């Protein structure tokens, strides 16, 4: 029960960060990028989205999709072209059925929950066609995986290529995005792989730098 409360508290803190971080990113980044990012319609976006992550491969034998949230930003690189820098933080919650019993008392968690926190930075390219934009990216970062009612915490590197589509609605873009998360470590002595699918909105704050 104590661990369940701890997990809930962490999620509430993450939700608060999800609300305040765009303001922080804007405040810190504006002086840095105001001179670099001129002449582009996609100079600076913040982004927030929700969805779910589908475990694939051996991960699907003990994990099930529940929900995901993500928060990040897109910084255009250069005055022209489509290159952009894509830092983000995301939370992925999975249903979890333990396959390997804990040491000591021989029991395995069933119907539990596994939460993965991912801090990632990627390099992407965006192509704008009328109101639509198509983009791809590849990056990497660090994931921390915790399990409800268990003391186990796993840290591992993550490689994440992905792609998405945006639709312009004026001062913001609606988007849908998918990627492939490949863990450089293991969970339950099996490789960790998942396919996140997210949809949400990207407010276009580029005009603030004009």
In DSSP notation, 125-145 reads EEEEETTEEEEEEEEEEEEEE
- pTM of the complete model: 0.73
Residues 6+ apart with CB under 8 A from 23: none
Which residues of the chain are modeled with pLDDT < 70?
1-39, 98-112, 148-151, 209-210
pLDDT at 99: 56
pLDDT at 22: 46
Q: How far is CA 120 from each of CA 73, 109, 143, 150, 207, rounded to the nearest angstrom?
A: 11, 29, 8, 25, 26
pLDDT at 153: 77
pLDDT at 208: 73
What is the token pair recorded at 36? Answer: 């670099």
**Three-state DSSP class for residue 157:** strand
pLDDT at 79: 82
In which residue are the tokens 């186990």 written?
Answer: 152
pLDDT at 210: 60
pLDDT at 110: 55
Query: Going from the N-terminus, what domains does the chain have, and what CATH number goes with each?
Result: 2-209 (2.40.160.20)
């Amino acid at each position: 029960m104590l661990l369940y409360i701890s997990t809930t508290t962490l999620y509430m803190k993450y939700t608060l960060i999800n609300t305040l971080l765009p303001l922080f990113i804007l405040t810190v980044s504006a002086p840095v990028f105001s001179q670099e990012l001129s002449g582009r319609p996609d100079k600076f976006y913040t982004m927030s989205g929700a969805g779910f992550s589908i475990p694939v491969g051996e991960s699907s034998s003990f994990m099930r999709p529940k929900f995901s949230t993500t928060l990040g930003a897109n910084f255009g690189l250069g005055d022209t072209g489509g290159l952009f820098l894509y830092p983000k933080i995301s939370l992925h919650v999975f249903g979890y059925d333990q396959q390997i019993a804990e040491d000591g008392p021989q029991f395995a968690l069933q119907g539990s929950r596994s939460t993965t926190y991912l801090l990632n930075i990627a390099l992407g390219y965006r192509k704008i066609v009328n109101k639509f934009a198509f983009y791809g990216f590849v990056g990497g970062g660090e994931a921390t995986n915790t399990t409800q009612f268990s003391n186990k915490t796993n840290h591992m590197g993550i490689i994440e290529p992905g792609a998405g589509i945006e639709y312009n609605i004026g001062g913001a873009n609606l988007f849908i995005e998918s990627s492939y998360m490949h863990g450089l470590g293991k969970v339950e002595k099996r490789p960790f792989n998942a396919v996140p699918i997210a949809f949400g909105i990207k407010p276009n704050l580029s005009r603030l730098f004009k």
